[in-house]
Structures are given as structure tokens and as C-alpha cells.
Amino acid sequence: MASAEIITVGTELLLGQLVDTNTTFIAKTLADAGIDVHRETSVGDNTERIAAAIAEALGRADAVVVAGGLGPTVDDLTREAAARATGRSQELHEPSLARIRTMFDRLGRPMADNNRRQAMMPAGAFVLDNELGTAPGFIIEEGTRAVIAVPGVPREMRAMISGQVVPWLVKRFDVTATIVTRVLNTIGLGESDLDQRIADLFHAGVNPSIAVLAHFGQVDVKLTAKAHSHDEAVAMLDELEPRIRERLPDCIYAIDGGPIEQVVGELLRIRGWTLATAESCTGGRIASMLTSVAGASDYYLGGVVSYANEAKLDFLDVAPELIERYGAVSEEVATAMAVGAQAHLRASCAIAVTGIAGPGGGSEEKPVGLVYVALAGPDATAQVRKLMLPGDREMIQRRAAMAALTMLWKAVR
Amino acid sequence: MASAEIITVGTELLLGQLVDTNTTFIAKTLADAGIDVHRETSVGDNTERIAAAIAEALGRADAVVVAGGLGPTVDDLTREAAARATGRSQELHEPSLARIRTMFDRLGRPMADNNRRQAMMPAGAFVLDNELGTAPGFIIEEGTRAVIAVPGVPREMRAMISGQVVPWLVKRFDVTATIVTRVLNTIGLGESDLDQRIADLFHAGVNPSIAVLAHFGQVDVKLTAKAHSHDEAVAMLDELEPRIRERLPDCIYAIDGGPIEQVVGELLRIRGWTLATAESCTGGRIASMLTSVAGASDYYLGGVVSYANEAKLDFLDVAPELIERYGAVSEEVATAMAVGAQAHLRASCAIAVTGIAGPGGGSEEKPVGLVYVALAGPDATAQVRKLMLPGDREMIQRRAAMAALTMLWKAVR
């Protein structure tokens, strides 16, 4: 079994200014690929200390993965330290320099001189392209061992680890255990609620393993099977999946799917429906989620952030009497907002949210956390749901957005 | 200056199943007390590897703080490893055993046999009481150096570090330094661009130190002064700050401030201005940022996500001829969107964004990354800016939103 160590670089880690989630991601990704991590180290922006940490780790592990210190500044010292730890010089990597220059050209800005540093690579290194930023990564092979450097910017690091580093390691170290994962994407249940429904299926060390992962208001159930062949692992998952499904009726919106906004978008596209939004307390969060998906313009027409009452009247034709009689946070206004957005944009359907996200603005009758979500569907149908959401402002906004998207998913699936 | 290393123990860390926030807390607490952390290490539940990590760290640092591995199970190996690393035997610590027994008595449960393990201490260790759980910590002095072990349960660890370990270290190593930090929040410059402007002010080991921290499209410049008194540290920062300010004209929007959306909101409130938004390619991201701030309803009236052209016509009264002649992504349409949003909501000002976030929808003439941001200000003034933004869809949306907020900040400050 191949062994690895992880080194993260950055003085901010030693000052406790930053939680080191890069190490967690890399460790998890390597473990999933069947590579054992034996030690994790963080060092500051200091060439000697980084070089010492790399050299020590190379004495113990097959692969040393270093994250961070590839930026353009004088504090970015991983290139130099890796060269020093492996007794190499640095040399300019022309294709990387050209790539960085192109990125700046597109910005219409001159390339700073110090960005040239990012194209300096330890001699003989295999360069890893960075599609998302200026810092290329690299791999240095030292006999049977390897030093691998990736950027510290989380999204650049993640793309490079999953897309290039792990495939390289699996091939280079001939990792043979096959690991197949399957993610059941759920919506509408809290993490502990979901956990409780399936807890008796978990046992430590059991294969396939079950993990419950919560993120941004959605909860994923991740099944991981280890076997000697892909088919064997898939058969194990096929046996387990229905046992979980029967515990979670009406909650699983996709298998290995993306976030709910992507899956709902795909369903809208398939149905040929168009969508509009009207948001009060979620303040554009739903629109922002929907438009984070490439190609959203195929089904999403747009919407209104009706934060002030004037916006509800002007953009959505909500009758002022309705607001006067029932208040802006009411079933009636939520429904009128959805109907107004649908009519203005001639959309197949519209979702609307009005509520009190807090911390101010609550009253005894209408406390912080009171939210109405409404859906105006095809054929002049409308539905509305009242929610009392716990949490702070951000949690309430997030949960309200999720509730609206859940309502939409149930209508369009 | 006293130096320290931190070691966290637990196989779950190496599997990436747990984010190591213990290290972050300990590092921050030590830094605040004026103790330099030089390295952080995580190892699994393996006596030999824990002992090796402790022995290595003792060779480099004055104090080695080990968190985790003090529980009652056979997997809890820090006591044994610390004894081995310092060439000691273990002995039963009667007061700790009595304390653990009392805790179980109070719970009305019999003490498990393996809880006895928790009272075994390296010979000659100074025992740290645990008020919150069964695992005592300990300090072993080795000549001028020390190994300190604390539990891995976060609340027990935190209480022991703050209440017992730091006071002991400060006294033992005669730490007298005070640390004061000041953060200059900037917008409008990239990380490397900003770095280049101030790079000559940095030198390794210089006090005050300067760190450039990028996050979500904003860049912070963090100044950290160490001195013998608070006043002295503040004076050092007061001397440095203007030298940085003159290098970054028009970029620093706050000192120790929050994100730009919060600072801009505060400025709008002070001026008594109201704001509207009109977003095409940012799809509600700006509205969502603005409304993430509590109390945003005091100045933010609302806006439109005009994703489809119909939304630009219907909600914002953009003239169809304008779209026909110049295209939806144009200076003219961006300006008309801002003016339309401002007029509809009778807002003091409005910002608008239209562009091509990609990956589809680009052309040779109007490529992915082309974005116009516009501002309609008081007194019927309007301005518009053309940008060519690099990156993927998410980056383009984020940068476009930041550019619009920067334009607004310059108008309202």
C-alpha cells in the first residue's frame, strides 16, 4: 500500500488565523483512492523550514503532497524549498509563463513582474496545469518517491488534486483496491433527523461504509464500497441503496447529482418550463443559486428582489390592500408575489419567498424565522407553505431558499 | 522568544474525517500570548509514530503541545508515547484516579476498567486537572524544554489550554511580548498587483510584519506588531500604516472592517441614500451579498434579476431598440438598466451589471468575461465601466459583483 504525507504551508496556519481544511480535503481524497496518509505537517513561509519538512517526509513516505506557497509573492517559497530539498536548481517553464501572461492579457492588465516567479519550476519537474488560477503545480520524482506541490487556494487545490494528482498517484504506485462511491442527494430533512432514520445501518469498519454529509442546507448520504473489482463494488452498492431509499421517501432528489439548483434546472429544461422568482427575505439568494448553473438562461427568465414594499407593488403588482390587511409577511402576499412574477415574465412557474430573517423586524405575532414560500404553477395553480425556521439570519435565508427549491422540485419532478 | 510546536493525535485526522480545529485554536491562543509556533503535526493512533513526532519536535522547540489520545480506550496512546519519547515509565496518579471515580459516582454509573488508564501518568509529570471530563492532562519538563498533553475533546482542550497551559508557559518561558494586529481591507486590486506595490516594505522577520490575505475577491493587508506594551505596539502600527496607505490610494475601504457589502451599507445609511440593483450575469449575487447584512432594509430597496431580455424590458423599461442596436451586453444597456432600476424604486442610486459569465454565450466580438457595470447616481449622473474578467463562471460572477460594489463604494464614500 502506498503511503503519503501532507504538508501545508503558510504562516497564517501557525498563527491560527486559518483553519486548515486543505489538509482535510487532501487526506480524504487520498484515503478514498486507497492511499494511506501517515503524517500531516504545517510549516510557515520559511524556505529552510519548508525544505526540512519535505526532506523529512520524503524519508518516510512514498509521496509527499505540499499545498500552498505557490503564489507570486516573496512569501511564496514552496518552489524554492522543494528544489532545495531534492538538490535541484530552478528553471523557467516557458509554457506556464505563456499561460500566466495570457490570463493577464485577458484581464487587460500588465503582468506583474513577480508573477514570473510562478513559472519557475524545480529542474526536471513535471508541471501540473492550473485551469483556475495563475499558479501551476508540479511533481518531482526522486527515485521511487515523489514530491507533489499544489496551490493553497482551495478551489485550485481541489481541482488539481482530484483531476491530476490522484490519477497520477494511483497509476504511479499501482494502487489496486477499487473504491466506488455513490452519493444519494437529499433535500427536506435535517442532518440529525436523517441520521436517526438510518443510524442502525451504520457500523464502524463495515464495507460499504455510510457517511452523512451536510453542506449548505442539503444533506448527502455517501456510500463507499471497497472491492477487488469495480463490478463487485457496484454490486455491493446496489444491494445497500434500496435499504436506504425505503427509509428516506420523498427526500432523494438525485444520485451522484449536483446541488438541488442544478437538478431542478435540468428538470425544468426537460419539461420545457420557464421559471421566475420573487424574493423578499432571501434577497436574491435563490436567483443567485439558480444562475450559478451554466446554461440557466435556457429556463430561468429572471426575477425580483422585492426587499422594500414599493418593490412588491411596482415590480410584482401586489395589491397595496393585501399588504395593508395581511402584512408583507403573509400567505396572501407570498402567493401574490409568485403570481406577479409569473405574469410579468410569462413564465411557466414562479417561486416566491417572504419572511423575517432577523435579527431585527420580528414581533410576537410574526417572529424572526417566520417564512412563507409560494409556488405559482402552470394552469393557474398556486400553493403556499408556512415555515418557522430556526437559526441566525444566514441560516434562515439559506433554509428559506432551500424550502422554495424543494417546493419547486416536487412540482417539476 | 519562546517557540512551540503543536501535535494533534487521531487517525480520523489522517483519513480526512475531521477538520483539525484544535490546532487552529491552540496556535491562535499561543500566538496571542506571544509564543511563536514553528510547526504543526498530525499523527495517527500509533505509539511509535506519536513518540517519534514528540521526540523530533522536542529537538526543535521549547514547548511541544500534544492534543488528543488521552481517552480511556486502547487507541488512546499519548500517555505511553510521551513517556517513551522522554525515556520515562508510567505510574498511577492516585488523585486523578479518585477524581475520575468521583465523576462516575456522580453519574451513578460504575467506572469502566479502562478509565483507570486515564490516571496513568509519565513518571514525574505535573498533572493538569480536567474540570470538564475524565482525561487529565500533564506537563513533562525535559531540561529547559517541556512536553504538554491536553485532551482532544475541543471544550476540554480549550479550557485546559487557556486556563492552565498558557499561564504556565508564559511564566515558565518568561514571555513578555504583546501582539497587536490591524487589518487594512482593500478592494479593486488583485492579490499580486497589491503585493507588488508594497513588497519592498516586507522583510522576513521584520516587526511589525505585513501579510497579504486574499478571500472572496477582496484582499486584506494585515499588520502585526509585537512589543513590550500595548501602547508601544499601537505606535508601531501608527507609524507603518500611512506608508502602506500611500501605496494603495483609492483601495482601502476600511480598517478592521467587515466585508465590502457591510461597509458600503454603513456608508449608504450614513448618507441617507437608498439603493436598487439590476443584475444580468451576476444573477442576484449582488442583491444576495447586500441582504446578507442585518439591517440592509434601511437602505436597500430591492432589484431585478433581468436574466432574459423580457425582464430587462418589462421590469426596467430598457428600450427594445437599445438591445437590438447594441446587444444586451453593452454600455448602453448597462446604463439603461441602472437608470431603470433607480427610477422604478425611486432610489438615490442603482448599480447594474450585464455580461457574459460563460461557459457558453460568448462570441468573437463579445467573448466570455466581457462585463459592463453601471451606476446611476443622485442628480441623474451615470457612469459605466467595461471589464474583461478571467476565470470560470463562478469567478466571473464574483469579480463582476465586486467591480459593481467597488464602483458604488467610490460614489458613496
pLDDT for A205 equals: 63
| Window B:142-181, CB contacts with A under 8 Å | none
Residues 6+ apart with CB under 8 A from B190: A107, A109, B219
Quote the CA–CA distance of A286 and A353 in Å, as a whole number: 9
> What is the rounded distance in angstroms from the CA atom of residue A369 to the CA atom of residue B233?
44
- 0.90 surpassed by pTM: no
Cβ-based contacts of B193 with chain A (< 8 Å):
109, 112
Residue A63 in contact with residue A27, Cβ under 8 Å?
no
- Could you give the CA distance from residue A328 to residue A325 in angstroms, rounded to a whole number? 9
A297, A368, A395, A396, best to mutate vs chain B, most B CBs in 10 Å: A297
Does the beta-carbon distance from A27 to B39 stay under 8 Å?
A: no
Query: What nine digits make up the cell of A75?
Result: 512569501
Work out the pLDDT band at B94, boundaries 50, 70, 90.
Answer: very high
Percentage of chain B modeled with pLDDT above 70: 99
CB B129 within 8 A of CB B136: yes
Question: Do A283 and B295 lie within an 8 Å CB cutoff?
Answer: no
ipTM over 0.85: no
Among the partner residues B211, B302, B390, nearest to A311 by beta-carbon distance: B302
Which chain A residues have a beta carbon less than 8 Å from that of B5? none
The pLDDT of residue B216: 67
Query: Picking from A251-265, B84-98, B112-126, B198-212, which range would have the lowest pLDDT averaged per residue?
Result: B198-212
Phi, psi of A124 (to 5 degrees): 80, 5
- Say whether B38 and A43 touch across the interface (CB within 8 A): yes
Nearest to A279 by CA among B299, B355, B317, B290: B290
Contact status, residue B268 vs residue B412, Cβ threshold 8 Å:
yes
Residues of B whose CB is below 8 A from A19: 19-21, 24
pLDDT band of residue B321 (cuts 50, 70, 90) is: very high
**B238-242: Cβ within 8 A, 24+ apart:** B240/B201, B240/B208, B240/B210, B241/B182, B241/B184
Mean residue pLDDT across chain A: 92
* Amino acid symbol at B48: E
Chain segment B370-389, per-residue pLDDT in tens: 999 999 999 889 999 999 99
pLDDT of residue B207: 87
Binary contact (A39, B37; C-beta < 8 A): no
Q: Would you call A315 an interface residue with chain B, using a CB distance cutoff of 8 Å?
A: yes
Q: Is the pLDDT of residue B203 over 80?
A: no
Q: Mark out the alpha helices in A218-330 (DSSP H runs).
A: 230-245, 260-271, 285-290, 309-316, 320-326
Question: What does DSSP assign to residue A162?
Answer: I
Taking an 8 Å cut-off on Cβ atoms, the answer to whether A393 and B290 are in contact is no
Sign of CA dihedral B315, B320, B321, B326: positive
Report A:85-114 residues touching B (Cβ under 8 A): 103, 106-109, 112-114
pLDDT surpasses 90 at B341: yes
Q: B367: nearest CA in chain A?
A: A106
CA distance A212 to A197: 11
Task: Give A-chain residues touching B195 at CB under 8 angstroms.
Answer: 72-73, 112, 114
Q: How far is CA A122 from the centre of its chain?
A: 32
- The string of pLDDT tens digits covering residues B237-284 is 999 999 999 999 989 999 999 899 999 999 999 999 999 999 999 999
Mean pLDDT (whole number) for A7-15:
94
CB pairs under 8 A between A and B: 287
What is the pLDDT, as a whole number, of residue A216?
65
Find the helix packing angle between A78-85 and A47-58, rounded to 10°. Answer: 50
Q: Which tens digit of pLDDT belongs to each residue from B227-241?
A: 888 899 999 999 999
Residue of B nearest to A13 (CA): B24
Asked if pLDDT for residue A339 goes beyond 80, the answer is yes
Cβ B193–A109 below 8 Å, yes or no? yes
Q: Which residues of A touch B17 (CB under 8 A)?
A: 28
Mean pLDDT of chain B, nearest integer: 92
What angle (nearest 5°) sits at the alpha carbon of residue A98, between those of residues A92 and A99?
Answer: 110
Q: All 3 cell numbers of residue B113?
A: 476498567
Q: Taking the CA of residue A382 as centre, how many other CA atoms within 13 Å lie in the half-sphere pointing to its CB?
A: 22
Residue B93 has pLDDT above 70, yes or no: yes
Chain A residue with minimal CA distance to B344? A314
Q: How far is CA B274 from the centre of its chain?
A: 31
Residue A347 CA to residue A380 CA, distance in Å, equals 11
pLDDT bracket for residue A1 (50, 70, 90):
confident
Q: What is the pLDDT of residue A334?
A: 98
- With 70 as the cut, is the pLDDT of residue B204 above it? no
pLDDT at A211: 79
The residues in B 182-221 lying below 8 A from A, measured between CB atoms, are 190-193, 195-196, 199, 202, 204, 211-214
Is residue B293 over pLDDT 70?
Answer: yes
Question: CA-based diameter of chain A, in Å?
Answer: 79
> Per the CB < 8 Å rule, is A13 touching B25?
no
The alpha carbon of B47 is separated from its chain's Cα centroid by a whole number of angstroms, namely: 34
> How many angstroms separate the CA of residue A303 from the nearest CA in chain B?
5
Q: Which range in A139-153, A218-232, B27-41 is most confidently predicted, on average pLDDT?
A: A139-153
Judging contacts by C-beta atoms under 8 Å, the chain B residues touching residue A53 are 39
Burial tier of B47 (Cβ tally within 10 Å: 0-12, 13-18, 19+) = middle
Q: Is A72 on the interface with B (CB under 8 A)?
A: yes
Q: Between B42, B195, B390, which is nearest A72 by CB?
A: B195
CA distance B10 to A27: 13
Least confident of A63-72, A120-129, A197-206, B222-231: A197-206
Closest CA of chain A from B371, distance in Å:
11
> Residues 331..370 of A with a Cβ closer than 8 Å to B: which?
344-346, 358-361
Residues A177-207 pLDDT 10s:
777 889 999 988 877 778 788 888 876 567 8
Residues B109-136 pLDDT 10s: 778 777 888 999 999 999 999 988 889 9
Q: How far apart are CA A220 and CA A215, in angstroms?
A: 8
Mean pLDDT (whole number) for B23-27:
96
How far does the CA of residue B315 sit from the closest CA of chain A (Å)?
A: 6
- Orientation angle between helical segments B309-316 and A331-345, nearest 10 degrees: 120
Contact (CB<8Å) B15/A21? no
Distance from CA of B95 to the nearest CA of A (A): 34
- Say how far apart CA A142 and CA A123 lie, in whole Å: 12
Residues in chain A with CB shorter than 8 Å from the CB of B222 are 17
Residues of chain A contacting B360 with CB distance shorter than 8 Å:
294-295
Please tell me which of the candidates A20, A44, A56 has its beta carbon nearest to residue B20. A20
Which of B301, B311, B360 is closest, CB to CB, to A311? B301
| Cβ pair A397:B303 closer than 8 A | no
Residues B261-297 as b/e (b if ≥16 CB within 10 A, e otherwise) read bbbbbbbbeeeebbbbbbbbbbbbbbbbbbbbbbebb
What number of CA atoms fall less than 13 Å from residue A123's CA on the CB side? 6
Q: Are A343 and A317 in contact (CB under 8 A)?
A: yes
Residues A204, A181: Cα–Cα separation, whole Å: 17
Residue A212, beta-bridge partner list = A221
Is residue A319's pLDDT more than 90?
A: yes
Residue B359 preceded by cis peptide, ω within 30: yes
Chain Cα centroid distance, residue A391: 21
Task: Please state, in angstroms and rounded to a whole number, the distance separating the CA atoms of residues A239 and A218.
Answer: 24
The pLDDT value recorded for residue B239 is 95
Radius of gyration of chain A (CA): 26
> A 12-41 residues with CB below 8 A of B?
12-21, 23-31, 36-41
Q: In chain B, what residues touch A397 (CB-CB under 8 Å)?
A: 291-292
Q: What is the DSSP string of B256-280?
A: S---HHHHHHHHHHHHT--EEEEES
Which residues of chain A are within 8 Å of residue B199 when distances are taken between CB atoms? 73-74, 114
| Chain B CB contacts of A37 below 8 Å | 14-16
Chain B residues with CB inside 8 Å of A16's CB?
A: 23-31, 37
Average pLDDT over residues B346-366: 95
Q: What is the pLDDT of residue A204?
A: 58
Confidence at B55, pLDDT banded by 50, 70, 90 = very high
Binned at pLDDT 50, 70 and 90, residue A82 comes out as: very high
What domains, with CATH codes, occur in chain B?
3-172 (3.40.980.10), 178-255 (3.30.70.2860), 260-412 (3.90.950.20)
Cross-chain residue pair B192–A72, CB shorter than 8 Å? yes
pLDDT in tens, A254-288: 999 989 999 999 999 999 999 999 999 999 999 99
